[in-house]
Amino acid sequence: MINNQITIKFGGDGNIKVDTLTEFLEIYKDLIYSINNQLGYFSDDLIIEVSPPEKGSFKIKISPKYEKILLKSFETIVVSTLAGLLLYYLTKPEEDKTLEEIKLLLEKQNIEPEIVNNVYNIYQNTSVEQKIKQSFIVVNEDKNITDLKIDKNDKEIINIPKSQFANIINRKEQIEIVHEPKKDIIRDEATLVVKTIHFEGNAKWVFIFRGYPIKASIKDSNFITKLNSEAFMKGDTFKVILARSRTYDEDLQTYIVDQNSYVIEQVLEHTSKTDNQSRLDLK
């Protein structure tokens, strides 16, 4: 009894392009090696053979390279897993399915229960979905092909007319939805006391804001032009429009300010330290 063979049948009366054949078989070779690797074996552990063409069909035969008890019925597992992956790709809905739902899906297609775990794990953790999709792109581009049939051990598992190829290729792919954290930028008028001054490059100045030191870049171009003509020193006071970004922490149920995001968008007023001292002396 044959238990290690996949037969691919390209429908149509004419010849198919040689590139169609070679690209398609290369994709299926990669699929088989991916399955082999996920099952814990190496490429050297199996032999992949392709029969000569017969009425548009090619037989892919898989056999173990070494005579080991460990590899007993190994080729059957690989073939069944490949068949399960193909069926799952063609029948799975757009939303994610649980393992139990996939079991029911594949059991309806007469895939052995012990193979289902392989199918689920390999489909979730490898790029087989893209490889299978690419195989349909390859056959769809060959105008001489009218349908695609695939048998597992002489039992048909796939029979798809070319009219359905485009729908399979363009089917909406599963996209994992990542919920971005809530972020915003707050801007308000603030009074800052200068602690450290940086006149060169894009270095940040250090200020005291509400009793805490912060580092902030200054983006006010009008203020920057004054750096060469106006005196600044530690202890000066700035009245500014201060911006900073914050992210909502779901666990703490509160916003947390990014300490590296402080930006002075506009300097409204600069009061020198000497002015502050004079005002204190006058009081």
Domain that holds residue 219: 183-282
Cα torsion at 202, 206, 207, 210 (round to 10°)? 110
Rounded to whole angstroms, the Cα distance separating 259 from 254 reads 15
51 found inside a domain: yes
One-letter identity of residue 84:
G
Higher pLDDT, 250 or 19: 19
Residues 146 and 190 in one domain: no
Above 60 in pLDDT, residue 276?
A: no
Q: Tell me whether residue 282 is exposed, middle or buried, using C-beta atoms within 10 angstroms of its C-beta: 0 to 12, 13 to 18, 19 or more.
A: exposed
175 found inside a domain: no
Q: What is the pLDDT of residue 195?
A: 92
- 107, containing H or E segment: helix 99-107
Give the pLDDT mean for 46-75: 60
Helix axes 18-38, 128-140, angle to 10 degrees: 170
178 found inside a domain: no
Residues 50 and 144 in one domain: yes
Residues 52 and 31 in one domain: yes
CB-CB contact of 269 with 239 (8 Å): yes
Higher pLDDT, 19 or 3: 19
- Chain centroid to CA 151: 32
Our count of domains for the chain comes to 2
pTM above 0.75, yes or no: no
The per-residue pLDDT for range 120-166, each reduced to its tens digit, is: 777 776 678 888 888 889 989 988 888 888 887 777 878 888 888 88
Residues 152 and 243 in one domain: no
Rounded to whole angstroms, the Cα distance separating 273 from 277 reads 6
- What DSSP letter does each residue of 122-156 carry, written as one string? HHHHSSHHHHHHHHHHHHHT-TT--EEEEEETTEE
Q: Of 140, 170, 200, which marks where a domain is finished? A: 170
Above 50 in pLDDT, residue 72?
A: no
Rounded to whole angstroms, the Cα distance separating 268 from 283 reads 25
Residues 12 and 102 in one domain: yes
Residues 22 and 80 in one domain: yes
> Which CATH number does the domain housing residue 225 bear?
2.40.50
Above 50 in pLDDT, residue 177?
A: no
Residues 198 and 61 in one domain: no
Residues 159 and 238 in one domain: no
70 found inside a domain: yes
246 found inside a domain: yes
Residues 159 and 193 in one domain: no
- Chain centroid to CA 253: 29
